[in-house]
Amino acid sequence: MKKLKALTKEQAPEKSRQFFEGIEKAVGMLPNIYAVIGNSANALGSYLAFNNAQKNGSFNAKEREAIFLAVSEEHGCNYCLSAHTAIAKMNGFSEEETLQLRAGTHLNRKLNILTNLTKSIVVNRGRADEELVNAFYDLGFDENALVDLVALIADITFTTYIGRLSRTEIDFPKAQTLNKGIAA
């Protein structure tokens, strides 16, 4: 099967090359997932704009990473797990906490409900467990936040699908395999 490949700047369309340069300036490197998405300058530009806009939503950086880890775990994307484990650590989570977020067992009640609701939405294709939705609202989140949550799930779903489809080479420290018996 022919697969998507990570493009070098020289191989990329001109518009993708411009995006690559901006990513390198912002991140300090061109992560392979962006080099793959760059096969379509339109998709890369649209994704970057969408992803950046989510930073203005209902969730702070740590909460966004918790959501991204929960989705990446459910989708089984090793690239996204590795990338978001590294980013979560840059945002103050320990290695153990990243595993707890992936397992839905984090000691922080808010993060625990957020990751379990995220997992429920993913696993049930949008038909989330009503108790988790109610617990989310009980935390003080509103309808705006629930829509923002779905937007973040869509954001990371795009990259997990690209990562799985392309079998993107991991260019971050590899995430540990989750022991499904991990306790809180």
Query: In terms of pLDDT, which residue wins out, 184 or 36?
Result: 36
Relative orientation angle of helices 130-138 and 143-166, to the nearest 10 degrees: 120
Pair 154, 64 in one domain: yes
Which spans in the chain are helix H?
A: 14-27, 32-37, 41-53, 61-75, 78-90, 95-103, 109-123, 130-138, 143-166
Pair 70, 95 in one domain: yes
Lowest mean pLDDT among 27-31, 105-109, 177-181: 177-181
Cβ neighbours of residue 51 closer than 8 Å, sequence gap 6 or more: 155
Domain that residue 44 falls in: 14-55
Question: pLDDT tens-digit profile of 71-129?
Answer: 999 999 999 999 999 999 999 999 999 999 999 999 999 999 999 999 999 999 999 99
Q: How many residues does the chain have?
A: 184
CATH number at residue 101: 1.20.1290.10
C-beta separation of 84 from 163 below 8 A: no
Is 72 contained in some domain? yes
Pair 41, 108 in one domain: no
Is 8 contained in some domain? no
Domain total of the chain? 2
pLDDT reported for residue 151: 98
Query: In terms of pLDDT, which residue wins out, 37 or 183?
Result: 37
Of the chain, the percentage scoring pLDDT greater than 90 comes to: 93
pTM over 0.85? The answer is yes
Q: Can you read off the two tokens belonging to residue 41? A: 């300058």
The answer on pLDDT for 182 being more than 70 is no
Pair 50, 91 in one domain: no
Is 137 contained in some domain? yes
Is 77 contained in some domain? yes
**Position of tokens 């890369």?**
44
Pair 86, 47 in one domain: no
User: What are the b/e assignments for 153-169, b being 16+ CB within 10 Å?
Assistant: bebbbbbbebbeebebe
Pair 141, 158 in one domain: yes
The answer on pLDDT for 183 being more than 60 is no
Cβ neighbours around 91 below 10 Å, total: 15
